[in-house]
Amino acid sequence: MKVRKSMDGWFTIEEIDHATFAISEYQHWEEAHSYVLLGSRQALLIDTGLGISNIKKVVDDITQLPILVATTHVHWDHIGGHKYFSDIAVHHLEKDWLFHFPLPLSAVKKELLKEPCLFPEGFDIDQYEIYKGKPALLLNDQDMIDIGNRKIKVIHTPGHSPGHCCFYDIDRKYLFTGDLVYEGELDAYYPTTNPIQFKESIHKIRKTEVKKILPSHHTLHVSHQLIDDIWKAFKELEEKGNLKQGKGIYEYGNFSIHL
């Protein structure tokens, strides 16, 4: 896997294959990943990260194709760079969040600064804003995004948020899992989350043939077994009557579930 840094050192660009790239923000505790998928007619950018540095400069260095931004979900750490793009797609259940974000700006800034971080030169927390805008495209479950000789299926996977989506690259069998599946703390404890839906969404993607899981946080190198491991954990919590908000954090080695 070829790896390089952006000019300001903030982003790490990793080549998944010749037409798929991860753009990562490893210096921040969120370790957020966005992904560029190249088609023959268009490029799909899955999420835009924290908005700390200009992700469009990195995308422009990868491709000159027109860009469609597909949003796994409208949380601040996934829409930070949306302001640099005009064609934004979100699930219809979260379109209003692009105008009325469910967290105040002060809470988002607190999260940004939660752990020490060497921000890039020019970043000013006082100037940081949450993206607001009108989506160009509303997504629904099983929609197909055709970027030219490459089709991406939208899989609605609520639980972490009402309109959370995974994106499935039909030919490559890559599954971009957003905040549904990754190694780290899976959050289903705040008001806009739903632990039961989270479990059902994990069950839903278990039916998908996956060659590579590409998550939105932390390590890119995720085992195929992780989906089944998370499913078993949720199922066990439900059987014991613990799949309810307010139950705390349950540890499972390389991931945890926060209820």
State residue 238's pLDDT score. Answer: 97
What are the tokens at 76? 């601040």
For residue 93, pLDDT over 90 is answered with yes
Whether the Cβ atoms of residue 19 and residue 171 lie closer than 8 Å to each other: no
For residue 1, pLDDT over 90 is answered with no
For residues 166-181, average pLDDT: 98
Task: Give pLDDT tens digits for 210-243.
Answer: 999 999 999 998 998 999 999 999 999 999 999 9
Of the pLDDT bands very low, low, confident and very high (cuts 50, 70, 90), residue 204 is very high
State residue 176's pLDDT score. Answer: 98
Task: Give pLDDT tens digits for 67-76.
Answer: 999 999 999 9
Task: Give pLDDT tens digits for 133-160.
Answer: 999 999 999 999 999 999 999 999 999 9
For residue 34, pLDDT over 80 is answered with yes
CATH code (residue 46):
3.60.15.10
Task: Give pLDDT tens digits for 37-53.
Answer: 999 999 999 999 999 99
Q: Which domain holds residue 16?
A: 3-258
CA 35 distance to own-chain centroid: 9
% of the chain beyond a pLDDT of 90: 95
Strand order in the sheet with 249-251: 185-187, 256-258, 249-251
State residue 224's pLDDT score. Answer: 87
The count of structural domains within the chain is 1
For residues 172-183, average pLDDT: 98
Q: Are strands 88-91 and 137-139 parallel, antiparallel or unpaired?
A: parallel
Of 212, 163, 160, nearest in space to 186 by CA: 160
Task: State the Cα–Cα distance between residues 74 and 13, nearest whole angstrom.
Answer: 23
